[in-house]
């Protein structure tokens, strides 16, 4: 009797609790989550840490100071405090990644699950359209949309979001295909549930782990892509602080003041790295069988 | 097999039609004024209107697309609004730089990534495996343009081993751009090779081969690696398009006068003929690559070759493989 009780308790654990338990056992994941929490803290309380005006207002007497006591990260060619610009830049960089991924995840999930659920001709049509979409490098699609909408942060978010839909849809269709052939889908259909209801209530909850993993991995890619576009002058426009834009503005003086390029880059890389680690850890936590394979 | 290839080649036509139409519509979501762009601020309204009329820019959108398509089918992709040069001529002059950068990087990425991936898989959990896996994770998280700038800072500006940009320095001017572009891909090939190899070494046929007395190297290369090749070929095909995208960025960093640099400038200036032409070239290039990937599939996997010959379910099979 006494040995049976803990067994029962384990079985009662929901999948969510199991996953969080495994996640918190993973040391790398804890490191990643600490870094991400710090970044989120920066995003939320940016105005309390350092006022926005410090990141924007010109201050010529202080131009091109190297990192030191007064300016932790130094100043740029306009004398703006790089620390303030990095802190406020985190808002745009991270939001860009999150919103663009939201667009991709929403549209991709709808397209992928619909294609998998309907099957046959509808599946074929949706997949052929996605194939065509994918025939063009996604960066090029993104660039074309930016060419149409003009440069700016909202335009860039929609462009990145739009360009990444097919990739998302493909992965989730593959995941949903495994679900739609299950018996509980058939019985739901037999009970008279409508297609949209089955997708919403049965298909999506069963692939939520894949959506979560894919979205997490995706965020780091979109943050890097957004920074790249801003670096090319197609995203955030000066004087808006955004990590990629800060980097490209530092190009003029980076030979003698390398901090202009190294510091924003380090922030970008650490952000992307910790999100990638979290993505890997999530996959391991959801499916321990895959552990150590990729 | 021949029929399959012919069908795939024919599929390029409708795909390109749709893609060009969509991109044409996208670029024209907001109005632009090519006449004003070409003639500059000094021209009168009449001159601008006259030129816009000559370019066919006063026609409705779909008619304009029709006109572009008709000219394109006759080999005339128009002139750049800015440089006034024939866009195809310009692309022809720039394409070699982009191709060189892309293919060099792909080659080095494969040369570095595959053997190291196999090494990591055969010596799983060794020091080499741990350090290489960690390193590849760091490299995958680095934005390529940043890595390029760091390399430039150290090797071109501080040590002056290599030129900081341009293509006038002979082979030396290709070292830094290629290194920048290939490092990220080498890292991802390493990760994928490692995971594909680990998948395969757990299969029964590997144990069978072992128990037959095959040497470790023979099992690794002839059995596990050969079966991992499928995943890797798919990946190589897919990453080609990303490499082209990556080339756009690297060309900007190292000011290489390739297609990417031209594309970014054209998009910033809304130079419609140039954008459309570069899109067509890149799109066709990419689709031809995907067809080659499918043929290579059949070449390396007899199971798929048999499927082609049977002529059944081939698309379904390939699509499934690609999705996995």
Spatial separation of the C-alpha atoms in residues A246 and A206, rounded to whole Å: 42
Pair A247, B149: CB distance under 8 Å: yes
Which residues from A are below 8 Å from B283, CB to CB?
Answer: 135-136
Pair A74, A82: CB distance under 8 Å: yes
A24 has a pLDDT exceeding 50: yes
Which residues from B are below 8 Å from A89, CB to CB?
Answer: none
Which residues from A are below 8 Å from B323, CB to CB?
Answer: 170, 173-174
Output the CA–CA distances (angstroms, integers) from residue A140 to A18, A136, A218, B245, B310, in the order listed.
41, 7, 18, 7, 38
Tens digit of each residue's pLDDT (9 = 90 or more) over A110-156: 999 999 998 888 888 888 888 777 766 677 778 878 877 878 888 88
Angle formed by the axes of helices B226-253 and B172-201, to 10°? 150
A58 has a pLDDT exceeding 70: yes
Q: How confident is the model at residue A98 (pLDDT cuts 50, 70, 90)?
A: very high
pLDDT for position B285: 79
Q: How confident is the model at residue A294 (pLDDT cuts 50, 70, 90)?
A: very low
Q: Do B245 and A140 touch (CB under 8 A)?
A: yes
Of the partner residues B28, B138, B249, the one whose CB lies closest to the CB of residue A228: B249
Instruction: List chain B pLDDT tens, one digit each, 324 residues.
Output: 677 778 778 878 887 888 788 878 877 777 777 777 777 777 788 888 887 787 777 778 888 888 888 888 888 888 887 777 888 888 888 888 888 898 899 999 999 998 998 888 888 888 888 898 888 888 888 888 899 999 988 888 888 888 877 777 778 888 899 999 999 889 888 988 888 888 887 788 888 888 888 888 888 888 888 888 877 887 787 777 778 778 888 888 888 888 888 887 887 777 888 888 887 887 787 778 778 877 777 777 777 667 656 555 556 666 667 666
Spatial separation of the C-alpha atoms in residues A62 and A75, rounded to whole Å: 7
pLDDT for position B112: 92
Task: Please identify which residue in the block is written with the tokens 């990739």.
Answer: A167
Which residues from B are below 8 Å from A277, CB to CB?
Answer: 137
The DSSP H or E segment spanning A191 is: none
Picking from B180, B187, B185, B154, the residue whose alpha carbon sits closest to that of residue B252 is B180
A41 has a pLDDT exceeding 80: yes
pLDDT for position B313: 54
Please report the DSSP string for B84-100 in residue order: -SBHHHHHHHHHHHHHH
Picking from A40, A60, A59, the residue whose alpha carbon sits closest to that of residue A49 is A40
- The one-character DSSP state at A253 is G
Q: What is the mean pLDDT of residues A83-110?
A: 91
Q: Do B195 and A251 touch (CB under 8 A)?
A: no
Spatial separation of the C-alpha atoms in residues A230 and A247, rounded to whole Å: 9
pLDDT for position A267: 92
Pair B199, B229: CB distance under 8 Å: no
pLDDT for position A38: 92
Task: Please identify which residue in the block is written with the tokens 């360009």.
Answer: A163
Q: Do B145 and A231 touch (CB under 8 A)?
A: yes
Structure tokens at A226: 């957004």
Tens digit of each residue's pLDDT (9 = 90 or more) over A218-259: 898 899 989 988 888 888 887 888 888 888 888 877 878 888
> Average pLDDT of chain A?
83
Mutation target to probe the B interface, by most B beta carbons within 10 A, among A127, A137, A245, A259 is A137
pLDDT for position A293: 45
Pair A123, A115: CB distance under 8 Å: yes
Q: What is the mean pLDDT of residues A271-275?
A: 92
pLDDT for position A1: 43
Using CA coordinates, name the residue in chain B closest to A124.
B316
Q: What is the mean pLDDT of residues A57-75?
A: 75
pLDDT for position A247: 87
pLDDT for position B318: 63
Angle formed by the axes of helices B144-151 and A208-231, to 10°? 40
pLDDT for position A33: 92
Angle formed by the axes of helices B87-122 and B172-201, to 10°? 40
Picking from A155, A244, A137, the residue whose alpha carbon sits closest to that of residue B246 is A137
Angle at B53 between CA B49 and CA B58, to 5 degrees: 90
> Average pLDDT of chain B?
81
Cis previous bond, A239, omega within 30: yes
pLDDT for position B299: 76
Spatial separation of the C-alpha atoms in residues B80 and B90, rounded to whole Å: 9
Tens digit of each residue's pLDDT (9 = 90 or more) over B26-85: 777 777 777 777 777 777 888 888 877 877 777 788 888 888 888 888 888 888 877 778
Spatial separation of the C-alpha atoms in residues A284 and A209, rounded to whole Å: 11
Task: Please identify which residue in the block is written with the tokens 């995943």.
Answer: B231
pLDDT for position A3: 46
Among A61-70, A245-254, A279-288, whose mean pLDDT is lowest?
A: A61-70
3-state helix, strand, coil in chain A (%, to 5): 75, 0, 20
Structure tokens at B166: 């341009």
CB distance from B49 to chain A under 8 Å?
no
Four-CA torsion B16, B20, B26, B29, nearest 10 degrees:
-150
CB distance from B287 to chain A under 8 Å?
yes
Picking from A293, A291, A239, A247, the residue whose alpha carbon sits closest to that of residue A267 is A247
Picking from B321, B300, B298, the residue whose alpha carbon sits closest to that of residue B309 is B298
Which residues from B are below 8 Å from A217, CB to CB?
Answer: none
Pair A214, A170: CB distance under 8 Å: no
User: What is this structure's pTM?
Assistant: 0.82
Angle at B185 between CA B180 and CA B191, to 5 degrees: 135
Tens digit of each residue's pLDDT (9 = 90 or more) over B88-103: 888 888 888 888 898 8
Picking from B129, B98, B85, the residue whose alpha carbon sits closest to that of residue B243 is B98
Listed in sequence order, the residues at least 6 apart from A277 whose beta carbon sits closer than 8 Å to its beta carbon are A28, A29, A31, A32, B137
């Amino acid at each position: 009797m006494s040995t049976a009780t803990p067994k029962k308790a384990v079985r009662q654990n929901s999948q969510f609790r199991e996953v969080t338990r495994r996640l918190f056992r993973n040391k790398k994941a804890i490191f990643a989550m600490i870094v991400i929490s710090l970044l989120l803290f920066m995003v939320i309380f940016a105005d309390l840490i350092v006022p926005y005006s410090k990141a924007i207002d010109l201050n010529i007497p202080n131009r091109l100071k190297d990192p030191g006591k007064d300016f932790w990260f130094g100043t740029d060619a306009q004398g703006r405090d790089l620390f303030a610009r990095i802190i406020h830049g985190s808002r745009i960089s991270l939001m860009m990644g999150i919103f663009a991924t939201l667009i991709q995840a929403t549209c991709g999930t709808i397209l992928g699950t619909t294609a998998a659920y309907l099957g046959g001709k509808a599946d074929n049509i949706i997949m052929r359209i996605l194939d065509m979409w994918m025939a063009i490098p996604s960066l090029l699609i993104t660039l074309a949309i930016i060419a149409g909408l003009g440069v700016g942060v909202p335009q860039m978010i929609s462009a990145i979001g739009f360009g990444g839909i097919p990739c998302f849809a493909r992965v989730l269709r593959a995941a949903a295909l495994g679900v739609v052939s299950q018996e509980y889908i058939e019985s739901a259909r037999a009970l008279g549930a409508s297609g949209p209801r089955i997708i919403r209530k049965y298909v999506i909850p069963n692939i939520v782990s894949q959506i979560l993993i894919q979205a997490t991995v995706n965020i780091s890619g979109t943050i890097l892509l957004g920074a790249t576009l801003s670096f090319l002058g197609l995203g955030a426009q000066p004087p808006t602080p955004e990590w990629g834009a800060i980097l490209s503005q530092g190009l003029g003086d980076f030979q003698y003041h390398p901090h202009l390029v190294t510091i924003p880059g380090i922030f970008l890389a650490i952000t992307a790295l910790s999100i990638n680690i979290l993505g890997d850890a999530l996959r391991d936590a959801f499916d321990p069988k895959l552990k150590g394979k990729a | 097999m021949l029929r399959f290839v012919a069908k795939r080649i024919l599929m390029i036509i409708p795909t390109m039609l749709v893609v060009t139409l969509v991109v044409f519509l996208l670029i024209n979501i907001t109005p632009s004024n090519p006449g004003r762009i070409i003639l500059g601020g000094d021209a009168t309204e009449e001159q601008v209107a006259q030129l816009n009329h000559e370019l066919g820019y006063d026609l409705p959108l779909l008619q304009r697309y029709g006109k572009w398509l008709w000219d394109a089918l006759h080999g005339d992709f128009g002139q750049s609004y800015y440089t006034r040069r024939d866009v195809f001529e310009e692309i022809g002059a720039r394409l070699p730089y982009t191709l060189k950068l892309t293919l060099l990087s792909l080659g080095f990425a494969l040369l570095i990534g595959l053997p190291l991936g196999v090494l990591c898989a055969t010596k799983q959990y060794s020091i080499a495996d741990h350090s290489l896996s960690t390193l590849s994770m760091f490299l995958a998280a680095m934005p390529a343009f940043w890595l390029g700038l760091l390399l430039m800072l150290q090797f071109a500006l501080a040590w002056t081993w290599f030129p900081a940009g341009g293509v006038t320095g002979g082979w030396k001017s290709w070292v830094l751009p290629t290194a920048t572009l290939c490092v990220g891909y080498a890292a991802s090939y390493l990760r994928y090779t490692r995971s594909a190899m680990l998948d395969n070494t757990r299969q029964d046929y590997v144990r069978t081969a072992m128990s037959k007395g095959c040497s470790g190297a023979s099992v690794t290369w002839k059995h596990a690696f050969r079966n991992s090749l499928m995943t890797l070929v798919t990946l190589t095909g897919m990453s080609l398009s990303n490499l082209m995208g990556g080339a756009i960025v690297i060309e900007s960093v190292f000011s290489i006068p390739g297609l990417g640099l031209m594309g970014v400038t054209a998009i910033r200036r809304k130079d419609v003929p140039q954008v459309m032409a570069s899109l067509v070239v890149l799109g066709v290039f990419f689709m031809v690559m995907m067809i080659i990937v499918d043929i290579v599939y059949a070449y390396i996997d007899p199971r798929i070759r048999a499927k082609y010959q049977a002529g059944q379910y081939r698309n379904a099979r390939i699509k499934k493989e690609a999705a996995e």
